[in-house]
Amino acid sequence: MAHLPLTLFEDGKFQAVLEILAPQFEWPRCKTFARMAENLYYTCKASILKLFLWLPKMTPVTHAIDMWTTKDQRHSYMTIVFHWIDKAQFQSKTRLVAFELIDGVHLGKALTSCFWDAMEERALLHHVSTMKGKNASNNHAMITQLQHKYQDIGMTWTYHEHFHFCAFHVLCRLVKDFLNSMSQLTNEDYIF
């Protein structure tokens, strides 16, 4: 499923709809989209870093993290998105902070290193309030390790108080499990 947003453009039915809507337009391949997204991120990275220079040091920020592996299993990525309230304008703000290639497989230690290095490089380690992510064992390991790393620099950041499971991922998992259980039922299992 992680590759779905990009491979959707190569789906035959999707392309048929696009052909009807815009027959003169030729859609790029998913690898082209991926390359464009990565190039755009690196082009905008400097302006993103400037944006956070003026953000007061202890402004509460929610980190949304997600990891995925490419369809061919050759590359793993981590994205980190910040959500915060701009107090001057009282507006909700959202910015992509990091789009990082994970060194090796995305186990807890590699995720911890990737997250910590990205935040340290951007001088954003102190902009930590809460974090949300998938309910996965590698995330549990990462959060536990981050808790210790924050303690080492004198910050109190605890797993149970500051990490929240992404409601969307939890809901998707529940629906998927429900649909799987329904497909295994026979007519005799239904109570009318």
Domain co-membership, 174 together with 97: yes
Domain co-membership, 50 together with 61: no
Q: What distance in Å separates the CA atoms of residue 57 and residue 164, rounded to the nearest whole number?
A: 22
Higher pLDDT, 44 or 80: 80
Name, in order, each residue with C-beta under 8 angstroms of 80's C-beta and a sequence gap of 6 or more.
63, 64, 65, 96, 97, 98, 100, 115, 118, 119
CATH number at residue 119: 3.30.420
Q: Considering the entire predicted model, what is its pTM? A: 0.64
* Of 86, 98, 154, residue with least CA distance to 122: 98
Domain co-membership, 104 together with 36: no
Determine the structural domain holding residue 107 and report its residue range. 57-189
Domain co-membership, 96 together with 158: yes
Instruction: Please state the domain count of the chain.
Output: 2
Task: Give the tens place of pLDDT for each residue, 167-184.
Answer: 666 677 777 777 777 666
Query: What is the number of other CB atoms lying within 10 angstroms of the CB of residue 64?
Result: 18
Domain co-membership, 17 together with 111: no
Domain co-membership, 91 together with 162: yes
Domain co-membership, 76 together with 112: yes
Say if residues 94 and 51 touch (Cβ distance below 8 Å).
no
Domain co-membership, 161 together with 115: yes
Task: Give the tens place of pLDDT for each residue, 136-155.
Answer: 778 778 888 998 998 999 88
Task: Give the tens place of pLDDT for each residue, 69-81.
Answer: 777 777 788 888 8
Domain co-membership, 153 together with 96: yes
Alpha helices in the chain (DSSP H): 4-7, 12-21, 30-53, 108-121, 137-152, 159-162, 167-183
pLDDT over 80 at 129, yes or no: no
Domain co-membership, 130 together with 100: yes
CA 80 to chain CA centroid, nearest Å:
6
